[in-house]
Structure 1
Amino acid sequence: MKILVPVKRVIDYNVKVRVKGDGSGVDLANVKMSMNPFDEIAVEQAIRMKEAGDAEEVVVVSIGVKQSQETLRTALAMGADRAILITAADDVHTDIEPLAVAKLLKAVVDEEQPGMVLCGKQAIDNDMNATGQMLAALLGWSQATFASEIKVDGDHALVKREVDGGMQSIKVKMPAVVSVDLRLNEPRYASLPNIMKAKKKPLDEKTADDYGVDVSPRLEIVKTSEPPERKAGIIVESVDQLVDKLKNEAGVI
């Protein structure tokens, strides 16, 4: 079985995001970029499945700007076999919307014919949480979201997923699209020898036009602003005082 893993280049999760002075977007000047953490977990899971004998090949794909090559090389250094870069934007501030990404991924799936698509449940920059579901719908495949455990059982995948009430276990027929959650695994660090080997692994470069997909945005960002600053809390001296403040100041009871 071949596993396809989409990965996205985002601002590193350790970086404090700054909004541009004119409110037109996020300032990316001299900002460290890295692989979306949920996608990193998906790459790790695909590699573990290959190591366990459940998969023969792991292919990673990224859609965006030319600089996404760095993200793909990181995935190759972790253990992926080859990579595909689809250049769909020239400006690093351009975010390709989920439907366009899903259409491009469908075209890649049609070419590669994987048995499973493993993706992060969402990207930490736009928090859309939509691409995996859209891809499954376009392909007509089974889907499992928010996976915290994945096991292959013949032509089915057993997935434990997190829901509001706890954990849910489902069985989906493959091929399937599975989006992963934080508790699935702890991604490995790429060793120096593997980083050097990654430079020699195949990385195919294509464009959105090669697949005939229009990536023009359907949404317009009107304004970007910082979230309001949180006010310091207070210490109450009694339960009665707490209830009084919750009722008369906070208005929550």
Structure 2
Amino acid sequence: MEIIVCVKQVPDTTEVKIDPATNTLIRQGVPSIVNPFDKNAIEAALQLKEQYGGKVTVISMGPPQATEALQECLAMGADEAVLVSDRAFGGADTLATSYTLAAAIQKLGTYDVIFCGKQAIDGDTAQVGPEIAEHLGVTQVTYVSKMEIEGDTAKIERENEEGYEIIEAKLPVLVSVIKSLNYEPRYPSVKSTMKAKRAQIPVWTSADLAVNPERLGLKGSPTQVRKIFTPPQRTQGVVIQKDTAREAVTELIQKLSDAKIV
């Protein structure tokens, strides 16, 4: 069974910085982690491999430093990893990102299951996985908490607002998984971590993919960020202390009137 996992290296949520000129995230030199939901996807892929055999290939689009994220995935148990990296991919929105990743997946060749995390914690769109499926023309199932394979059919448990539903889909299929006890990420061993550090991860650029340059990066992104700003810090509120509720209400009304709120 050929299994592919799409992962993203995201900035540490406490260290997010924005380039005021391009309105995009500054990633170089910023502490980064593997997107937590993508770790759930890796765990789901590894469990599928352990149950049915096959190979797990992890793929990521990002700057050169994203190699560190792929090494962590290899340490968890993935068999191969590929980094898709090129300045032409910079500033991509979900449509351009999914287009590029779909082209990379097609270059990898045949596949049975593609795993994605539910969403990335830096964008929270939950769009890239379903868009990849659309580009590839394969079935997609989101919010997956459990999965089994029977022949050429995937039996999938999907979470929704009212509970769970069971869906059957023909392979190949793309699924985005949620965080659950079924897919709690495993910890890599010291030996596997050291081995992953020595792994040579291939890097594919736009020249290696069958892509239209007009559909890459900022140029191929119909979604444009017009403005990013930090909301002003809230000032400390006013505490009203009076002997009676009537006096407190009277002073409150006076303060609201002075501030021209009422």
Q: Within the alignment, does 1:98 sit opposite 2:102 as a pair?
A: no
The 5 Å alignment of 1:19-168 reads: 24-26=23-25, 31-52=30-51, 54-89=52-87, 94-111=90-107, 112-168=109-165
Deviation of 1:18 (Å): 5.3
CA contact 2:118–2:126 (8 Å) conserved in 1:
yes
Instruction: Report which stretch shifted further, 61-70 or 161-170.
Output: 161-170
The superposition leaves residues 74-125 of structure 1 with CA deviations (integer Å, 9 ceiling, x where unpaired) of 100111011111113389xx44322222222222332321111001121111
- Counterpart for residue 166 of structure 2: 169
Q: Within the alignment, does 1:216 sit opposite 2:217 as a pair?
A: yes
CA contact 1:64–1:89 (8 Å) conserved in 2:
no
Q: Within the alignment, does 1:3 sit opposite 2:7 as a pair?
A: no
CA contact 1:159–1:169 (8 Å) conserved in 2:
yes
Distance, in Å, in 2 between the alignment partners of 1:231 and 1:78 is 46
Q: How high is the sequence identity, in percent, across the aligned residues?
A: 35
TM-score, normalization: structure 1?
0.80
Deviation of 1:66 (Å): 0.9
Do the aligned partners of residues 202 and 127 (structure 1) sit closer, same or farther apart at CA in structure 2, a change above 3 Å counting? Answer: same
Distance, in Å, in 2 between the alignment partners of 1:231 and 1:57 is 55
Deviation of 1:62 (Å): 0.7
Q: Does the residue aligned with 1:125 lie in a helix, a strand or coil?
A: coil
Do the aligned partners of residues 18 and 149 (structure 1) sit closer, same or farther apart at CA in structure 2, a change above 3 Å counting? Answer: same
Instruction: Report which stretch shifted further, 116-125 or 161-170.
Output: 161-170
Which AA in structure 2 matches 1:45?
Answer: A
Distance, in Å, in 2 between the alignment partners of 1:24 and 1:69 is 24
Provide the alpha-carbon RMSD of the alignment: 2.7
The size of the alignment, in residue pairs, is 230
CA contact 2:85–2:204 (8 Å) conserved in 1:
yes
Do the aligned partners of residues 18 and 137 (structure 1) sit closer, same or farther apart at CA in structure 2, a change above 3 Å counting? Answer: closer
The superposition leaves residues 3-24 of structure 1 with CA deviations (integer Å, 9 ceiling, x where unpaired) of 00111110134x2545678894
Distance, in Å, in 1 between the alignment partners of 2:30 and 2:217 is 26
The superposition leaves residues 133-183 of structure 1 with CA deviations (integer Å, 9 ceiling, x where unpaired) of 111112221111011111112211111112122211111111000111112
Distance, in Å, in 2 between the alignment partners of 1:147 and 1:141 is 16
Do the aligned partners of residues 134 and 28 (structure 1) sit closer, same or farther apart at CA in structure 2, a change above 3 Å counting? Answer: closer
Q: Does the residue aligned with 1:49 lie in a helix, a strand or coil?
A: helix
Instruction: Report which stretch shifted further, 24-33 or 97-106.
Output: 24-33
Which AA in structure 2 matches 1:166?
Answer: G
Deviation of 1:228 (Å): 7.0
TM-score, normalization: structure 2?
0.78
Deviation of 1:230 (Å): 8.0
Unpaired stretches in structure 1, ≥5 consecutive residues: 235-253
Which AA in structure 1 matches 2:192?
Answer: N
Instruction: Report which stretch shifted further, 191-200 or 101-110.
Output: 101-110
Do the aligned partners of residues 24 and 77 (structure 1) sit closer, same or farther apart at CA in structure 2, a change above 3 Å counting? Answer: same
Larger Rg: 2
Unpaired stretches in structure 2, ≥5 consecutive residues: 240-262
